[in-house]
Structure 1
Amino acid sequence: MWNRLLKIINVSILIIFTSCSSKTDSLRWVDTLPKPWLLSESEVSNILPEFHKRFPNFEERLKAIVIWKIGTPYELFKLGEEVPPDTDPIIRLDVSDCTVHVLTCLSFAQSKTWAEAREKIIKIHYKIDKNGNQIPTYQSRWHFTSDRILSNPNTVNITNELIDSSNLISVDLTLNIKENGSELLALDWSKKVQLSYIPNNRIDSKLLEKLPQVCGVAFVQRSYLKDGLAIAHEGILIDQKDLIHASSLANETVRVDFLNYYFSDNKPLFDGIMIYKFVPIE
């Protein structure tokens, strides 16, 4: 009986070790890849199926794509509809800002070709119109990160699941409407929302331990409320400790310790955070 138990334990340890070793080897493979911003669309299409082979689990594959994109040059507001008023590409890997980083990682993690990733980002980045169609236009784009977190089925708010509601701070605002009543963006659109976020005194290692292995984080800046928005920045948290984000200061996508980044110089960079999970497109 005892020998049988020892055998079961040894087999279990071997399975765990083999699984961890396999994951480590696969992540080492990511480090050997040419950088995505240097590749053509066809070259990216040749690589993507291997991500699915090595990382069959969605979250692990998303994490691998996120790591692959570290080092991407930073440029602001570089996704568009390829027609006026915003002629930038619908999808790209050559440059990134914070939201572009999140959306492209989520799109490529669910795709085996560049063309498929383009189709996926349209589903993620644009709202469904009254006729049930999802057409990429400037007006239909998810312009506001807080709106996307609260209403987009692929980036789902889990802030309220992580901490008691009594410890959250709630804010009521009308998105896209400034204090003087004018629009921030020329969309002929506004939306009243209530945001609940985690304040700085609740952001610590205990909070991080509650997070999924891969999730999104959005940074609240209260000074932005007067302009009809609340989120100043966003990125992707992995392994419950590291933030991978497109940094305007570093001028590229970087991997940093989240708490060290957030409380740099012993003071918080923002007023709080919202956390959201990634849900694959059905």
Structure 2
Amino acid sequence: MRWFVGKNLSVSACLLPVFILGGLFLPAACGRNAGEWNSERIAQDTDHRPLLPSRSPFSIPGDLSRLADTRYPRLSEMSEEERKEWRMFLAKEPLPRRVAAWAFLQVGTPYQGGALGEGTGLDTDPMIRFDVTDCTILNLVSVSLAHSEVSSETEAIRIAGYRPGETVAFENRLHFTTDRLDVSPWFKDVTGRFRGARRHRVHLNRRRDGGRWIGIDWNRWRDVTYLPAEEAVSLFQDTDCPEVLGVGFTKRKILDDGLDMLHEGLLYRGETVVHASSRRGRVILEPFSKMVRRYDGVVFFEYR
């Protein structure tokens, strides 16, 4: 999957493949299972009274999925000062839990493909924003806010989503998920740790017809390691799962056409995927066992 660009470039997104043409962010879709923190209840909840004051110290719940409840402040509604306070409150948590907390605080955020850009050049959308998101941006924003040692939010986004040592520009953006996992210091592909993983040689940004997914002079061969969906669907019934993992979803036909991922999100406790759904028009929660059946394979990654 690629990190798409702004308005004039188009491709595909969340629920659909996250394609990118001419440079546009187009993510895929997402969801969650029923229960006390059911995403339908969360999305339809009209009681916006804060569960606790955003400016008062509080204890982070052991079960981070509780932060999806809209009685907690939404990231999209927080001021810059309130975001700083939350970063301070979360600082004592391990990094993966901080990433997950920020992801859950985005449940309900409206979906908009290609919502981030460089503020100038090919994509004039802002480098960081919180009022809308897509599947890639959800991960980028969550990991950026989790790195509270980086005081500037735009600098954190630069580290998360651009080539190190290069200027912030569309052509230096890490458009493809697996390329980002190799290049960004804040992500790491760990799919190969799981038994049954397979490899597929992919020529990123080089289509079968000779065209490009993204209109930049860049392509790269990469062995994409993925776990087949039939293996992944019951994986964590028999295997211990880290509390927090990043997850990407793919199909074999797109691997043969120069694309790596169709969609991505955050996997919590091996059960729940937090993701921005183009089909549902917002960030939702969805059971991993249900979601994975729509794809041929999955990629797992760590937040660092």
TM-score range, shorter chain: 0.7 to 0.9
Q: Which residue of 2 aligns with 1:125?
A: 161
Q: Which residue of 1 aligns with 2:220?
A: 191
Contact 1:175-1:229 at 8 Å conserved across structures: yes
**SS where residue 60 of structure 1 aligns?**
helix
Task: State the distance in 2 between where 1:152 and 1:47 align.
Answer: 24
Contact 2:68-2:106 at 8 Å conserved across structures: no
Q: 1:112 offset after TM fit, Å? A: 7.0
Structure in which a larger fraction of residues adopt helix: 1
Q: Which residue of 2 aligns with 1:254?
A: 284
Using the size of structure 2 for normalisation, the TM-score is 0.73
Contact 1:198-1:272 at 8 Å conserved across structures: yes
Q: Which residue of 1 aligns with 2:296?
A: 271
> Does residue 40 of structure 1 match 2:100?
no
Gaps of 5+ in 2: 1-58
Q: Which residue of 2 aligns with 1:210?
A: 240
Q: Which residue of 2 aligns with 1:162?
A: 194
Q: 1:88 offset after TM fit, Å? A: 0.8
Q: Which residue of 1 aligns with 2:122?
A: 85
Task: State the distance in 2 between where 1:58 and 1:76 align.
Answer: 27
> Does residue 176 of structure 1 match 2:205?
yes
Contact 1:220-1:272 at 8 Å conserved across structures: yes
Gaps of 5+ in 1: 1-21, 263-267
Task: State the distance in 1 between where 2:68 and 2:218 align.
Answer: 42
Larger relative CO (CA 8 A, sep 6+): 1 or 2? Answer: 2
Between the two proteins, the alignment pairs up a number of residues equal to: 243
Task: State the distance in 1 between where 2:98 and 2:255 align.
Answer: 35
Listed one character per residue, the Cα deviations across residues 35-75 of structure 1 (whole Å, up to 9, x for unaligned) are 111233344234332222xx432222222212111111100
Q: Which residue of 1 aligns with 2:90?
A: 51
Q: Which residue of 1 aligns with 2:39?
A: none
Structure 1 residues 23 and 36, CA gap change in structure 2 (3 angstroms)? closer
> Does residue 101 of structure 1 match 2:138?
yes
Task: State the distance in 2 between where 1:23 and 1:46 align.
Answer: 13
Q: Which residue type is aligned with residue 67 of structure 1?
A: F
Q: Aligned residues: percent identity?
A: 30
> Does residue 222 of structure 1 match 2:252?
yes
Greater displacement, 37-46 / 238-247: 37-46
Listed one character per residue, the Cα deviations across residues 98-128 of structure 1 (whole Å, up to 9, x for unaligned) are 0000010000111278x52221110110002
Q: Which residue type is aligned with residue 137 of structure 1?
A: A
Higher Rg: 1
Q: 1:26 offset after TM fit, Å? A: 8.7
Greater displacement, 196-205 / 22-31: 22-31
